[in-house]
Amino acid sequence: MAPQSQSPTTGASIIARTLKDLSVAVIFGIVGVPVSDIAEQAINIGVRFIGFRNEQAASYAATAYGYLTGRPGVCLVVGGPGVLHAVAGVGNASANNFPLLLLSGSIETHLVTKGAFQETDSVSLLSPQTKISLRPSSIEMLPSMIANAYRTAFYGRPGPAFVDLPADLINDPIDPDDIENISDRPKISDSPKSAADPKRLSQVASLLKSAQAPLIVLGKGTAYAQAENAIQYFVNQTSIPFLPSPMGKGVVPDSHPQNVSSARSVAMKTADVVLLLGARLNWIMHYGEAPKWNAEAKFVQVDISSEEMGRNAGYAELSLLGDVGVVITQLSQALKGWSYSTSSDHDQQLAKAKQKNEHISWLAARDTSIPLTYAYAFSIIKTALHTLSPPSTGGICYVAEGANTMDISRSIFPLEHPRLRLDAGTFATMGVGLPYAIAAWQAYNAPNAQASSGPAPRKKIVAIEGDSAFGFSGMEVETMARMGMDVLIFVINNSGIYFGDSDSAEDFGVKREKTARGKQGLRSWALGFETRYEKLAEACGGVGYFVRSPEELEKATVEGFRANVPVIVNVIIQSGKVEEPSFGWQVTPKKREKVSRL
């Protein structure tokens, strides 16, 4: 019997081997002509491939994976429409500064400009949106070009990188004599870290010492940089109050006495020196402008990007360029022996505001109305989850999206460890919830998991979704089920976008302030009344719960947490008041002008 001939080496195997050599553990994407064999070759050598139902979701997952692990998430798609769908993830990665490597197939080199199947000039399309956008012209260039794009995505300020892969380079057999020319295996170390200018450090230390109301703002950049140990030491040493961004929560435990999240407005309006760590003065931080902030405040930025210095209200003259973990260690040395007085009048003012607002939140969580309120529903979920996995264990990673759902939940679920909350982020992107949950499951729970946060070896991924937000990527529940991911999903269902409503509510005897159906038909914010989203989990092999009462919600939370399949808990809550929708922290110039006259 004649021996079987070995399959010829192709560009697909070279690409897969390059990714493996770069320590890529997982690829997110959707296969098709001509990229299918790249995924197959990757699987053959131990790289996991997670096939999604939409390239948009795959690209979102890759961005979150990059954030959680500190190395670029890799997304593989087909050309043309596949790239167009994945552009959503490119934009999300760029706005959030998440490292992403997008790989796409494209037409054969000799067919360019001929109008071939799904022909798109993807390099020109993505060049303005990425840190680097490349198309190799020969197989010999594949390893070095992919490695260069991968390195560029996470060196310096993280962001997206793109490589367009022609079909002939992917599929054509390689002459054995030419394989030696492409045998070099790329090796890339972690991104170099830089320190701040000592003279500026001394000036910033003096400024902080003279401040009457200093404040630290912890952005998600501190979590990405894995700088929690250095920052916790700094906060403990200086006793300066801190305010975490939604994804900066847990870098310093939420339970820390200097956390002023529940006195956010007062802290911002009274701060005179603000130390921004891994955060930007963009819309989330109100640009550093009055009336949200003290008009006289000096903002000291700590960032790895010099272009960020002096942006909006930033105090460029004293901003510190460098890795946040390195710089804050330097600053700790410069402030050795000094601490802010926790008995100052300002600190007492913050303490009173915290006590007042926490009492208001406590009262809101005890509104036992049916349908449930946001606050009451979240209180039930939190109590059940904390009984099963106390925050100190770091055993739960939360994902949240949907305007009201995300805004309200971020103040209710405390975190004691970093990188355990993902949300819509700087780009306020809807549709990220389920893809982010998939990325978090892979990062924390897969056999080749590459992220760590907190002492728990395994983490339950809990996605808290608005009913509108869930609709953007709901079919990814099937992806979770197929890949064996036991994600717990809560759909907070008010039957609409922002506030929701429907005239069919009257059939259930539910009183509404206004109905969604007027003389002209359904209003723009209306969704189907009490849509049975939980059925999707059941259809995919998971478990679904439809709940109205506190008892039903508590039972579903406990059973859902313990399940080893995807679970959807469809939580019916009250609709809100019909008013102009906006994010809770967003203030337009017109609104700002009105406030300033008060």
The pLDDT of residue 500: 59
Contact 66, 93 (CB under 8 A): yes
Q: Of 348-362, 542-556, 560-574, which range is least confident?
A: 348-362
- How far apart CA 101 and CA 202 sit, in angstroms, is 39
Is the pLDDT at 386 greater than 90, yes or no?
yes
pLDDT at 596: 33
Amino acid letter, residue 352:
K
Separation between Cα atoms, residue 194 and residue 597, nearest integer Å: 45
Helix residue ranges per DSSP H, 140-263:
142-154, 167-171, 176-179, 198-210, 220-224, 228-238
Q: Are 435 and 463 in contact (CB under 8 A)?
A: no
Structure confidence at residue 114 (pLDDT): 85
Beta strand pairing call for 26-29 and 48-51? parallel
Average confidence (pLDDT) over 165-182: 83
pLDDT score for 510: 41
What pLDDT was estimated at residue 525?
A: 85
CA distance 40 to 79: 18
Q: Which residues contact 4 (CB under 8 A, 6 or more apart)?
A: none
At residue 397, the pLDDT reads: 98
pLDDT at 415: 97
pLDDT (average), residues 58-74 = 98
pLDDT tier for residue 517 given thresholds of 50, 70 and 90: low
Nearest alpha-carbon partner for 531 in 459, 450, 437, 465: 465
- Does the structure show a pLDDT above 60 at 515? no
Q: Is the pLDDT of residue 223 over 70?
A: yes
Rounded average pLDDT over 18-29: 97
| Per-residue pLDDT band at 586 (split at 50, 70, 90) | low
Which whole-number Å values give the CA distances from 164 to 75, 114, 122, 148, in the listed order?
12, 18, 7, 13
Residue from 419, 407, 81 nearest 247 by CA: 419
How many angstroms from the chain centroid is the CA of residue 402? 13
| Residue range 39-47: mean pLDDT, rounded | 97
Say whether pLDDT at 508 is over 90. no
| Range from 189-193, 269-273, 483-487 carrying the lowest mean pLDDT | 189-193
Does the pLDDT value for residue 579 go beyond 60?
Answer: no
Residue type, 155: Y
Cα distance between residue 511 and residue 1, in whole Å: 80
Q: Tens digit of pLDDT for each residue in 406-424?
A: 989 988 999 999 999 999 9
Query: Which residue carries 């010829």 as its tokens?
Result: 8
Label residue 519 by pLDDT band (50, 70, 90): low
For residue 14, pLDDT beyond 50: yes
Specify the pLDDT at position 183. 61
Look at residue 113 in the predicted model and tell me its pLDDT: 87
Average pLDDT, the chain: 90
Q: What is the pLDDT of residue 108?
A: 86
Distance from C-alpha of 179 to C-alpha of 386, rounded to nearest angstrom: 56
The pLDDT tens digits of the residues spanning 456-477 come to: 889 999 999 999 999 999 999 9
Whether pLDDT at 598 is above 50: no
Residue 491 has pLDDT above 90, yes or no: yes
In this predicted model, what pLDDT tens digit does every residue of 109-157 receive, in sequence order? Answer: 888 888 888 888 999 999 999 999 999 999 999 999 999 999 999 999 9
258-272 tens-digit pLDDT: 999 999 999 999 999
Tell me phi and psi for residue 573, to 5 degrees: -125, 175
| 106: nearest Cα among 143, 77, 69, 71 | 77
pLDDT for the residue 385: 98
Averaged over 183-189, what is the pLDDT?
78
What is the percent of the chain with per-residue pLDDT over 70, rounded to a whole number? 91
Q: If pLDDT is split at 50, 70 and 90, which confidence band does 357 have?
A: confident
pTM given for the model = 0.92
